[in-house]
């Protein structure tokens, strides 16, 4: 039994239009996505922006209505809102992508981080304050920050508040949507080291959504790549980084910026080559609507979206 | 005519906390040339956005001292009406936080169209729509006609960011300040946006200030790089120099934190980023983060020293810096 299993997930958003603001069509934000997470491991979800990664994460914790498909957590069907019991809501936490809009501007940091604690656990004011200060310290913020408001922090500092909040309840699964994107690399390193440390301690599982492929490479065991609501490829870290098959995956890997400024020209030429290949082989990888095909296995762990053979 | 586009002299930006003002940008002096990309990196909270906001004069409650000259016009003391003409036309900014930059109640197409009117008030609605669609295409937004009528909350994080970029480049500004322009984007679209910025530089001769945490982006884009720590510039150099011969202990530590192949634990700078109120204002501001370095290595009042042509570094401690044992351990484990 997989720890978390997502089966053929679809999340559609209605497009309204016409005279009566009727639904005239759908945005297929997530269009048939399946994957499973192993407990204690980190699974990376990457891909085009707007391809449905956040929507997938939000659907798992119940912030989006699932159009069809199933989400199983430790074998239990948790697809519907009703099935999301209190325990479950404690076990699965999310670090939200947007550190600005996900923090209530009118609340002090103490209240923001203590909110989940108050909802699920009973602590004295004293204990609560201590816990919040410990959490702040863990994410590298000074304990005196508790009486401040979100606007008094820089972008990266706010992101750490979000991380601290998600960790407050010691959940089993954390859906981390761009958890460190606003942080400088040293603080980033601090948060990533910490995420790994508590992963070992608590046997935590992460679904890590990130555009930073360096971080994905550092953190993840398995990786899924999304494009326009669908999977184009899934595999182990090595398979994805050293042997990407789908043309979109190749483009993605080629676009990773190189930290050596002397590689600029070389990198540029390489990208041009991949772009050329993309232009020429587009029809081999995308159907008439420009969508990816369904996944075919090319090894035990490696799957690529290709047209069915024969 | 000189090639200088922007001249910042002794700029100090302070926020009021309680009864006192505290400088988030502390005596920054910088120049930016036309046709140049200046990268700014630094610890989160070091004052990069505050600096950007000061240049655009977007702070509403901060105290600003010093001077900012754009094409020799003083921005700090400019009347608001003149300033409004400059913003969005001669100088534009891509904000770190796309949501605060967008009006939640206005359709995307209308928001971009508004900026076009700044530059050319006589544009017809039809001309505007055409140009907006063109801009949405340029920033790689699929189905632009449809997105034209959407509201910000209906877009993914990266799509919003691209709308903000479209607004910023709408009028081919001479100065573009890009604050984390591509963090919310996948690397293929990032590459596309970086190409656009390069084009603005090469074809329109624009000057670009690029603030980012992504050292790869800096390596690919910047001509020169400034490194900020605790409100000050601690190092500034031409891009190759900065990556190949970093001097300031903060710069070295930062470069050391980048994840590399097969590494278990990432290098972290000891201690925590002091809050604005508790920033050390005397002596080397980085000293507390490298406590194993002898106090005598630091200058009493650290200033920027030009150690080679165009390469400036603050404080004398760089000459005595080494990584502590723990980080040396890290080095053995794969950080080069
Ligand atoms: N509330 C909504 N109403 C309508 N469309 C939506 C809504 N939320 C998301 N979408 C659409 O669903 C698609 C997927 O969005 P999602 O936020 O999941 O993308 P993402 O992969 O997380 O992108 P990014 O990397 O930019 O964050 C996008 O086309 C987006 O415009
Ligand atoms: N309106 C404000 N009031 C009080 N303090 C502020 C305000 N805005 C920013 N600060 C503080 O000023 C300092 C600099 O903030 P700034 O946003 O410029 O950092 P930054 O370098 O852009 O960081 P990041 O990389 O995280 O975006 C931080 O300590 C921040 O907490
Ligand atoms: Mg997202
Ligand atoms: Mg900032």
Q: How confident is the model at residue A58 (pLDDT cuts 50, 70, 90)?
A: very high
DSSP string, A56-87: HHHHHHTSS--SEEEEEETTEE--SSTT--HH
Contact A144 B275 (CB under 8 A): yes
B187 Cβ below 6 A of ligand 1: no
CA distance B179 to B196: 15
CATH architecture type of domain A4-46+60-220: 3-Layer(aba) Sandwich (3.40)
CA distance B126 to B117: 12
A13 Cβ below 6 A of ligand 1: yes
What residues of chain A lie within 8 A of the CB of B40, using their CB? none
CA distance A179 to A207: 11
Q: How far is the CA of B328 from the centre of ligand 4 (A)?
A: 30
Query: In angstroms, what CA-CA distances link A280 with A18, A274, A286, B120, B140?
Result: 39, 10, 12, 41, 20
Res B334 pLDDT > 50: no
Looking at chain A, list the stretches that DSSP marks H as alpha helix, in order from N- to C-terminal side. 53-61, 86-91, 109-120, 125-138, 155-167, 185-202, 213-219, 237-242, 247-254, 264-285
Closest residue CA from atom 28 of ligand 2:
B45
Contact A49 B156 (CB under 8 A): yes
Q: Which of A162-171, A271-280, B68-77, B266-275 has the lowest mean pLDDT?
A: B266-275
pLDDT tens, residue by residue, A98-143: 766 678 889 999 999 999 899 888 889 999 999 999 988 877 788 8
Look up the pTM and report it. Answer: 0.89
Contact B215 A259 (CB under 8 A): yes
B98 Cβ below 6 A of ligand 1: no
What residues of chain A lie within 8 A of the CB of B259, using their CB? 189, 192, 214-215, 217-218
Q: Which three-class secondary structure state does DSSP give residue B133?
A: helix
B276 Cβ below 6 A of ligand 2: yes
Contact B254 A185 (CB under 8 A): yes
Q: What pLDDT is stored for residue A29 in this prediction? A: 96
Please give the ipTM for the structure prediction.
0.84
High-pLDDT (> 70) share of chain B, %: 96
Q: Is A61 left (phi over 0), alpha (psi -120 to 50) or beta?
A: alpha
Contact B99 A153 (CB under 8 A): no
Q: Provide the 10 A C-beta neighbour count for residue B299.
A: 13
Query: In angstroms, what CA-CA distances link A213 with A238, B209, B216?
Result: 13, 24, 11
Q: Which ligand is closest in space to the CA of residue B55?
A: 2
Closest residue CA from atom 22 of ligand 1:
A54
What residues of chain B lie within 8 A of the CB of A152, using their CB? 17
Residue B38: is it exposed, middle or buried by C-beta count within 10 angstroms (0-12/13-18/19+)? Answer: buried
pLDDT tens, residue by residue, B91-149: 999 987 777 789 989 999 999 999 999 888 899 999 999 999 999 998 888 889 999 99
Q: Which residues pair with B92 in a beta bridge?
A: B176
Sheet containing B175-179: order of strands: B91-94, B175-179, B207-211, B36-42, B224-229, B232-238, B311-314, B304-308
Residue with the bigger pLDDT between A283 and A84: it is A283
Name the closest residue on chain A to residue B183, using Cα atoms: A181
Q: How confident is the model at residue B333 (pLDDT cuts 50, 70, 90)?
A: very low
Q: What pLDDT is stored for residue A111 in this prediction? A: 94
The distance of A67 to chain B (nearest Cα, Å) reads 18
Q: What pLDDT is stored for residue B268 in this prediction? A: 86
CA distance B232 to B226: 10
Q: How confident is the model at residue B1 (pLDDT cuts 50, 70, 90)?
A: low
Radius of gyration of chain A (CA): 21
Mean pLDDT score, B10-28: 95
Q: How confident is the model at residue B325 (pLDDT cuts 50, 70, 90)?
A: low
Res B330 pLDDT > 60: no
pLDDT tens, residue by residue, A146-192: 999 888 877 677 878 888 898 888 899 999 999 888 788 988 888 88
CA distance A228 to A34: 14
Q: What pLDDT is stored for residue B324 in this prediction? A: 87
Compute CA B196 distance to the chain's CA centroid, rounded to the nearest angstrom: 17
Mean pLDDT score, A239-263: 95
Q: Start-end ranges of CATH 3.40.50.300 in chain B? A: 4-222
Name the token pair of A276: 């050329």
Looking at chain B, list the stretches that DSSP marks H as alpha helix, in order from N- to C-terminal side. 48-56, 80-86, 98-101, 108-119, 125-138, 144-148, 157-169, 187-204, 215-221, 239-244, 249-256, 325-332
Where are chain A's structural domains? 4-46+60-220, 229-309
Q: What pLDDT is stored for residue B175 in this prediction? A: 97
B216 Cβ below 6 A of ligand 1: no
A52 Cβ below 6 A of ligand 1: yes
pLDDT, mean over chain B? 90
Residues 6+ apart with CB under 8 A from A296: A303, A304, A305, A306, A308, A309
Closest residue CA from atom 14 of ligand 2:
B47
Name the closest residue on chain B to residue A266, using Cα atoms: B220
- Contact criterion met (CB below 8 Å) for A103 and A154: no
Measuring CA to CA, which residue among B209, B224, B194, B213 is closest to residue B255? B213
Closest residue CA from atom 3 of ligand 2:
A152
CATH no. of B4-222: 3.40.50.300
Q: How confident is the model at residue A57 (pLDDT cuts 50, 70, 90)?
A: very high
pLDDT tens, residue by residue, B167-214: 999 999 999 999 999 888 899 989 988 988 998 899 889 999 999 999
Chain A residues 71-100 with CB within 8 Å of chain B: 97-98, 100
């Amino acid at each position: 039994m997989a720890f978390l299993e997502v089966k053929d997930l679809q999340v559609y958003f209605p497009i309204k239009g016409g005279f009566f603001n009727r639904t005239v069509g759908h945005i297929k934000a997530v269009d048939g996505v399946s994957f499973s997470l192993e407990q204690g491991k980190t699974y990376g979800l990457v891909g085009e922006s707007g391809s449905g990664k956040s929507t997938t994460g939000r659907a798992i914790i119940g912030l989006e209505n699932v159009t069809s498909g199933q989400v199983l957590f430790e074998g239990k069907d948790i697809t519907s809102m009703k099935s999301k019991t209190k325990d479950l809501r404690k076990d699965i936490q999310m670090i939200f992508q947007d550190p600005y809009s996900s923090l209530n501007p009118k609340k002090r940091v103490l209240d923001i981080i203590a909110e989940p604690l108050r909802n699920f656990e009973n602590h004295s004011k004293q204990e609560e304050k201590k816990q919040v200060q410990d959490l702040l310290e863990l994410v590298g913020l000074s304990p005196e920050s508790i009486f401040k408001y979100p606007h008094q922090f820089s972008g990266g500092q706010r992101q750490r508040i979000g991380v601290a909040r998600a960790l407050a309840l010691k959940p089993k699964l954390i859906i981390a949507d761009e958890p460190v994107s606003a942080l400088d690399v040293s603080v980033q390193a601090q948060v990533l080291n910490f995420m790994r440390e508590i992963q070992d301690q608590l046997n935590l599982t992460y679904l890590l959504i990130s555009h930073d492929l360096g971080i994905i490479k550092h953190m993840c065991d398995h990786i899924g790549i999304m494009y326009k609501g669908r999977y184009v490829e899934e595999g182990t870290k090595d398979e994805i980084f050293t042997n990407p098959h789908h043309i979109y995956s190749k483009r993605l890997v080629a676009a990773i910026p190189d930290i050596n400024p002397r590689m600029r020209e070389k990198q540029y030429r390489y990208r041009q080559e991949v772009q050329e290949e993309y232009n020429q082989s587009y029809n081999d990888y995308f159907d008439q609507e420009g969508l990816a095909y369904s996944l075919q296995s090319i090894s035990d762990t490696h799957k690529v979206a290709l047209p069915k053979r024969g | 005519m000189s090639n200088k586009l922007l001249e910042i002299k002794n700029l100090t930006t302070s926020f009021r906390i309680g009864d006192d003002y505290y400088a988030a940008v502390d005596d920054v002096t910088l120049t930016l040339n036309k046709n140049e990309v200046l990268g700014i990196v630094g610890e989160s909270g070091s004052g990069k956005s505050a600096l950007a906001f000061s240049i655009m004069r977007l702070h509403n409650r901060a105290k600003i001292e010093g001077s900012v000259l754009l094409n020799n016009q003083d921005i700090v003391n400019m009347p608001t009406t003149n300033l409004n003409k400059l913003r969005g036309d001669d100088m534009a900014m891509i904000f770190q936080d796309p949501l605060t930059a967008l009006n939640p109640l206005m359709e995307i197409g209308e928001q971009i169209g508004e900026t076009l009117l700044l530059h050319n008030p006589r544009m017809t609605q039809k001309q505007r729509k055409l140009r907006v669609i063109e801009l949405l295409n340029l920033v790689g937004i699929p189905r632009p006609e449809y997105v034209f009528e959407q509201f910000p909350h209906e877009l993914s994080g990266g799509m919003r960011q691209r709308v903000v970029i479209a607004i910023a480049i709408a009028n081919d500004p001479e100065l573009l300040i890009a604050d984390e322009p591509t963090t919310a984007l996948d690397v293929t679209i990032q590459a596309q946006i970086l190409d656009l910025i390069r084009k603005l530089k090469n074809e329109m001769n624009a000057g670009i200030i690029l603030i980012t945490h992504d050292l790869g982006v800096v390596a690919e884009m910047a001509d020169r790089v400034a490194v900020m720590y605790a409100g000050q510039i601690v190092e500034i150099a031409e891009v190759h120099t900065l990556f190949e011969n970093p001097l300031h202990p903060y710069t070295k530590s930062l470069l050391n934190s980048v994840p590399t192949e097969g590494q278990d634990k990432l290098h972290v700078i000891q201690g925590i980023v002091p809050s604005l109120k508790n920033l050390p204002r005397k002596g080397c501001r980085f000293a507390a983060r490298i406590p194993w370095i002898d106090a005598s290595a630091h200058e009493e009042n650290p200033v920027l020293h030009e150690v080679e042509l165009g390469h400036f570094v603050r404080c004398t401690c760089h000459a005595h810096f080494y990584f502590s044992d723990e980080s040396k351990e890290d080095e053995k484990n794969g950080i080069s």
